[in-house]
Chains A and B, each alone.
Chain A
Amino acid sequence: DTGVSQDPRHKITKRGQNVTFRCDPISEHNRLYWYRQTLGQGPEFLTYFQNEAQLEKSRLLSDRFSAERPKGSFSTLEIQRTEQGDSAMYLCASRLGVAGGPETQYFGPGTRLLVL
């Protein structure tokens, strides 16, 4: 257990439905990342928060995706009008972002999404 938790662990939904995932990072970590991983591939970066500010979004993040980190603690990732191509593992990672400090990102267990 890395200290990063994600909920739910598994989600099955029908195409066209909206889904929301939650990530609780390690408490003192100010940086939070979302990645997506499809079967047999490495994780791909989606978006990054420093405290409550969303500072970078990948081109993978279409306008159906939105992420928030309202109080600089937990984060949510919402997918609207899900498509079968959204089926993947959604991973959250956090790290402490201080100058000269450790750069290790710690990952949560992921949320596996299946869109039928």
Chain B
Amino acid sequence: GESVGLHLPTLSVQEGDNSIINCAYSNSASDYFIWYKQESGKGPQFIIDIRSNMDKRQGQRVTVLLNKTVKHLSLQIAATQPGDSAVYFCAENVRSGNTGKLIFGQGTTLQVKP
């Protein structure tokens, strides 16, 4: 399953399929990007991050792709599992004043069907 466009609030996939969650970021000066997973009633949980000098980074079952030309970020989850069901947020760090504060997107809800 794949979310299309700038933002799709909900993505529904079949267990075992690959998921792709997309995110458009706003500031061309952002130099660090991060994906978080948030389950209901819990704080955001770090998944994977990437600096702007890279275009791809892989983790365990997850891959983040960065396209700076079109200011687009994606999270790919391989072999999606029921435990992956959550809201996924992308966030950017705008290199301004070096505070490291994160600007979050709206989030995409991933629903995994057994």
Residues of A within 8 A of B (CB): 2, 4, 6, 31, 33, 35, 40-45, 48, 55-56, 91, 95, 97, 103-110, 112
A-B pairs under 8 A by CB, number: 63
**B43 cross-chain contacts in A, Cβ below 8 A:** 2, 4, 6, 91, 107-110
Determine the distance from Cα of A2 to Cα of B46 in the docked complex, in whole angstroms: 9
Contact B101 A106 (CB under 8 A): no
Of residues 34 through 62 on chain B, the ones whose CB sits less than 8 Å from some CB of chain A are: 34, 36, 41-46, 49
Q: A107-B44, A109-B43 given as contacts; is B101 within 8 A of A43 (CB)? A: no
Contact A105 B102 (CB under 8 A): yes
Determine the distance from Cα of A31 to Cα of B105 in the docked complex, in whole angstroms: 22
Contact A31 B100 (CB under 8 A): yes
B81-114 vs A, CB cutoff 8 Å, 1 = contact: the mask equals 0000000010101000101111111110000000
**A42 cross-chain contacts in B, Cβ below 8 A:** 89, 91, 104-107
Q: How many residues of B contact A (CB 8 A)?
A: 23
Instruction: Quote the shortest CB–CB distance from B43 to chain A (angstroms).
Output: 4
**B99 cross-chain contacts in A, Cβ below 8 A:** 48, 55-56
**B97 cross-chain contacts in A, Cβ below 8 A:** 55-56
Contact B44 A41 (CB under 8 A): no
Determine the distance from Cα of A8 to Cα of B99 in the docked complex, in whole angstroms: 27
User: Which residue of B41, B93, B100, B104 contacts A43 across the interface (Cβ within 8 Å)?
Assistant: B104
**B107 cross-chain contacts in A, Cβ below 8 A:** 40-42
Determine the distance from Cα of A13 to Cα of B85 in the docked complex, in whole angstroms: 32
Closest residue to B98 on the A side, CB-wise? Answer: A97
Contact B106 A91 (CB under 8 A): no
**Interface CB pairs A-B, < 8 A, 21:** A2-B43, A31-B100, A41-B106, A42-B104, A43-B102, A43-B104, A44-B104, A45-B102, A48-B100, A48-B101, A56-B97, A56-B99, A56-B101, A105-B46, A105-B102, A106-B46, A107-B46, A108-B43, A109-B42, A110-B42, A110-B43
